[in-house]
Amino acid sequence: MTPLEKKAIEVLNKNWKGNFSIPCENLYPFQWFWDSGLIAIGFAHFDMSKAEKEIFTLLDAQWDNGFIPHIVFHSETDSYFPGADFHHSSLHPQASKKYKTTGITQPPVTGFVLEELYRISSDKEATLNFIKTVIDKVYFNHEYFYNNRDPKDEGLIYIYHNWESGTDNSPIWDDIWETMNPPEYTFERRDTTHVDASQRPSKREYDHYLHIIEIAKEHNYNDQKIAELSPFLVQDPLFNALLIKSNESLIKLYHLIENNEEKIKQLHNWQSKAIHSFNTKLFDEEIGAYIHYDLRNEKPLKYLSSSSFSPLFAGIPNKQRATSMIKLMLDKFGGDHQYLCASFDPTSDRFNPKKYWRGPVWINLNWMLYRGVSEYEYEDVAERIKKDSIEIIEKNGFYEYFDSRKEIHEKENAGYGGNNFSWSAALLIDLIR
């Protein structure tokens, strides 16, 4: 085992809290939805029982309507804002009675994570037995999305908050902030006591984030009301690609489990509608990749980001389209002076290589792009993404995000946000195994 892998295992074990993991100390002291899924992939390589517990605990916080929250508040610490009291998700009649949670969700990774656990497992029978105990919860979560988050029956799910996207302060949302004018709230930021403020969202951005939640709270987190009233209502290509990828995994796993014909049929129905809409509505010919759609203001958000390439991970584009997307990625994001893959278009004036989702490289997106590009058999590009991911971690440590400009890494530490960050460690393990 290499020293880097050893260190990655240490990071994961340190962030393990008995039944679940935190993304990192201080900055993120609770359990997060998509973090948990990706962390389980890392654990699966050396401690399957932790991988299973991670997923079990996450799904234990599922609401009675199938919704899975983006944060499960396992402790009372006030070192994170906004905490459980602000979110007050128990206003929703079907919210978890067992855990305090948020009333927003995150990208639905759980389906494909279960398939990853099965792929990695050296005891397939035991892992399939575990999967049998949780898979219906994941199916129920997908059913929740299609029944409650697709008002026009397009097979495309909306998100009603930027925190649901996982790519929280992407410059794409700037267009939506321009349509809003929230009050200037008084609150105490905690993130900027842990991390340099230049690497985090601004105070005004937080006003927008809080305002959307205030509106949801006024209506007890009722989905129909949110669809009617939320100023933020977006069909996000990353979120929808991960749902499609997870649907595909559920189909494969239900086949292995057997006797689930009805569910498999339903999953195929969701898939055909979703993939068709995705390829027509979310692909932008001019840009040459997938983009976000603003459902509230009925307009495409014409920006290129790492999310634009994420449909490769779910096998959504045909080979021809995939080929031109990969070329675009290399041309714009992959010059000799750049690490793949910046989170936002490096040629845009909204690009900021230090600020969170406005430009830095994130390991979770890199991992998805690596997997997607290799499925389309562009092994050299896949290897480049893998090499870049390992190199930035080797040079800086297991940070949350990294500067995409190579020259900065020669001069100073170019890892930003939280350190000893769980999914950077987990996915590094998967990349090098």
Contacts of 224-229 with C-beta under 8 Å, sequence gap 24+, read: 226/160, 227/149, 227/151, 227/158, 227/160
User: Which window, 28-36, 88-96, 148-156, 272-280, contacts ligand 9WN (CB under 6 A)?
Assistant: 28-36
Which of 168, 174, 175, 205 is catalytic? The answer is 168
Is 163 an interacting residue with respect to ligand 9WN (CB under 6 A)?
Answer: yes
Answer yes or no whether residue 239 interacts with ligand 9WN by CB under 6 A. no
Of 150, 400, 403, 430, the catalytic one is 400
For ligand 9WN, which stretch binds (CB under 6 A), given 162-170, 239-247, 303-311, 424-432?
Answer: 162-170
23 in contact with ligand 9WN (CB under 6 A): yes
Nearer to ligand 9WN, 145 or 357 (CB): 357
How many residues belong to the site for ligand 9WN (CB under 6 A)?
Answer: 10
H/E element, 143 = helix 124-148
Q: Does 34 bind ligand 9WN (CB under 6 A)?
A: yes
In the bound state with ligand 9WN, the residue whose beta carbon lies nearer, of 36 and 121, is 36
For the segment 389-408, give every residue that binds ligand 9WN (CB under 6 A): none
Which residue stretch of 30-38, 248-256, 274-282, 367-375 sits at the interface with ligand 9WN (rule: CB under 6 A)? 30-38
Q: Find the shortest distance in angstroms from Cβ 359 to ligand 9WN.
A: 14
Examine the residue annotation and report whether 168 is marked as an active-site residue of this protein.
yes
Window 57-76: residues binding ligand 9WN (CB under 6 A): 70
* Alpha helix (H) residue ranges in 233-353: 237-257, 261-281, 319-333
35 binds ligand 9WN (CB under 6 A): yes
Residue ranges of alpha helices (H) inside 258-399 are: 261-281, 319-333, 363-375, 379-396
Asked whether the beta carbons of 257 and 132 are under 8 A apart, the reply is yes
Active site residue 175: no
Q: Any idea what the Cα angle at residue 54 is, between residues 52 and 59, rounded to 5°?
A: 95
Residue selected from 20, 32, 63, 160 as contacting ligand 9WN according to rule CB under 6 A: 32
Please tell me the distance from the alpha carbon of residue 22 to that of residue 26, in angstroms, as a whole number. 9
Q: By CB under 6 A, tell whether 166 contacts ligand 9WN.
A: yes
Using rule CB under 6 A, residue 28 touches ligand 9WN:
yes
Stretch 168-197: interaction string toward ligand 9WN, x if CB under 6 A: x----------------------x------
Q: What span, in angstroms and rounded, lies between the C-alpha atoms of 314 and 236? A: 14
Nearest one of 358, 342, 241, 339 to 292, comparing CA atoms:
241
Cα separation, 332 vs 223, in Å, equals 38
In contact, 287 and 325? CB cutoff 8 Å: no
CB 107 within 8 A of CB 242: yes
Which residue of the chain is nearest ligand 9WN when measured via CB? Answer: 23
Q: Which is nearer to ligand 9WN, 79 or 413 (CB)?
A: 79
Q: List residues bridging with 101 in a β-sheet.
A: 72
Rounded distance between C-alpha atoms, residue 83 and residue 195, angstroms: 18
Residues that bind ligand 9WN (CB under 6 A): 23, 28, 32, 34-35, 70, 163, 166, 168, 191
Active site residues: 168, 400
